[in-house]
């Protein structure tokens, strides 16, 4: 599975380099590109493929994003999402996730332990409770009461990495750790409805209880079915500071293309934190109601995967503010 996926990534990467990115990202929408799914980082390819099974059968974007992000959540070799995620500094794997649909329904869980698919618990919070977010023990109790299985998410490899980290116990955010981070996914279905999902184990070796942007509606994810949807990856604190995904959607509402909206949001981070922004990574993805999309990051190296009828699940690298 891993080998063939790597092979596919290699092929898709090579194909991507042949495609005129500018024209893909900026061509005016003469018609609506749907269905479409876009997700953060190279591991978005496997997630998109799962989402596409639903989208290509005229399914709902909400179902597509949930099933899509479950792929890296269940992959023990992905150390920044779900099972196998790197733990906090106390050795506990704590997961953050949120989901949002075309009706502005949303659900989230934060600091959730022992559950492989936090995204599905977030969906249950959305569908079965009058609340938007459950955290910690409350989220776990809710998950168990709704049939989720309690599991050990700390794999031997992640435990080994944590024990090595403990020798120095230094915490510094590192740009593009292992070239991936949160998976954020946005989908537009054939009914022209948007949904999004975002899920992560958060910063490796964080303080216990630390939340990033990913479970926060408006920060790590936002969907407005009249306008568009956005998601983020990278250092969550800086995304929360500007309520990043909501900002991107509001910038699209003001008439900006998804690409321009992502650029303006990244520039807002630079303006607020000029020195810090040189050392950290944040990337945004956005899609509008017409299936136009955009991506932009602080630093080079932020990749995303795109699947539509025209673009068969290829990986692209976003433009960036620094070093581009
Ligand atoms: N963007 C993921 C985090 O900061 O936790």
Q: What is the mean pLDDT of each run of 10 residues along the chain (324 residues)?
A: 38 40 42 94 97 98 98 96 95 98 98 98 98 98 98 97 92 64 96 98 94 97 98 96 98 98 98 94 97 97 97 97 84
pTM of the model: 0.90
Cβ 181 under 6 angstroms from ligand 1: yes
Q: How many CB atoms lie within 10 A of CB 301?
A: 17
Distance 312 CA to ligand 1 centre (A): 28
Q: Which two tokens stand for residue 165?
A: 């980290």
- Residue 286's beta-bridge partner residues? 230, 294
289: Cβ contacts below 8 Å, ≥ 6 apart: 32, 188, 192, 194, 225, 226, 227, 228
What atom in ligand 1 is closest to the CA of residue 202? 5
233 lines ligand 1 (CB under 6 A): yes
pLDDT at 89: 94
pLDDT of residue 37: 98
Q: Which residue among 95, 209, 219, 236 has the greatest number of ligand 1 atoms within 8 angstroms of its CB, and so is best to mutate? A: 236
> Angle at CA 226, nearest 5°, toward 222 and 230?
25
Residue 114: the pLDDT is: 98
pLDDT tens string 114-124: 999 999 999 99
**Per-residue confidence (pLDDT) for residue 161, from 0 to 100:** 95
Query: Would you say how long the chain is, in residues?
Result: 324
**What was the pLDDT predicted at 6?**
38
Q: Ligand 1 centroid to 23 CA: how many Å? A: 31
pLDDT of 179 reads 57
Which atom belonging to ligand 1 lies closest to the Cα atom of 206?
5
Q: Is 129 a catalytic residue?
A: no
pLDDT for the residue 31: 83
The yes or no reply on domain 29-300 and CATH 3.40.1160.10 is no
Distance 255 CA to ligand 1 centre (A): 28
- Predicted pLDDT at 10: 39
Does any ligand 1 atom lie closer than 6 A to the CB of residue 200?
yes
Residue 204 Cα to ligand 1 midpoint, Å, equals: 9
Q: Enumerate the domain spans of the chain.
A: 29-300
């Amino acid at each position: 599975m891993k080998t063939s996926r790597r092979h596919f990534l290699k092929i898709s990467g090579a194909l991507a380099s042949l495609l005129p990115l500018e024209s893909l990202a900026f061509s005016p929408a003469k018609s609506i590109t749907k269905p479409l799914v876009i997700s953060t980082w190279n591991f978005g390819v496997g997630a998109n493929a799962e989402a596409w099974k639903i989208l290509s059968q005229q399914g709902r974007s909400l179902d597509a994003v949930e099933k899509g992000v479950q792929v890296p959540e269940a992959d023990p070799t992905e150390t920044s999402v779900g099972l196998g995620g790197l733990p906090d500094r106390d050795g506990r794997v704590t997961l953050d996730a949120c989901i949002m649909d075309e009706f502005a329904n949303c659900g989230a869980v934060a600091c959730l332990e022992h559950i492989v698919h936090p995204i599905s618990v977030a969906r249950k919070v959305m569908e079965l409770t009058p609340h938007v977010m459950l955290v910690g023990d409350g989220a776990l109790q809710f998950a168990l009461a709704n049939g989720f299985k309690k599991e050990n998410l700390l794999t031997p490899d992640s435990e080994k990495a944590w024990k090595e980290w403990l020798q120095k116990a230094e915490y510094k955010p590192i740009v593009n750790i292992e070239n991936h981070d949160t998976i954020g996914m946005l989908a537009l279905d054939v009914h022209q409805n948007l949904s999004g999902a975002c899920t992560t184990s958060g910063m490796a070796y964080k303080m216990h209880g630390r939340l990033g942007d990913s479970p926060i509606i408006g920060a790590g994810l936002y969907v407005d079915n009249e306008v568009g949807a956005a998601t983020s990856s990278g250092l969550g604190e800086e995304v929360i500071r500007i309520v990043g995904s909501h900002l991107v959607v509001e910038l699209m509402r003001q008439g900006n293309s998804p690409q321009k909206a992502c650029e303006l949001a990244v520039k807002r981070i630079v303006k607020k934190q000029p020195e810090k922004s040189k050392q950290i990574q944040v990337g945004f993805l956005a899609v509008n109601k017409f299936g136009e999309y955009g991506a932009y990051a602080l630093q080079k190296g932020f990749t995303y995967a795109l699947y539509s009828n025209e673009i068969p699940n290829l990986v692209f690298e976003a433009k960036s503010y620094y070093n581009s």
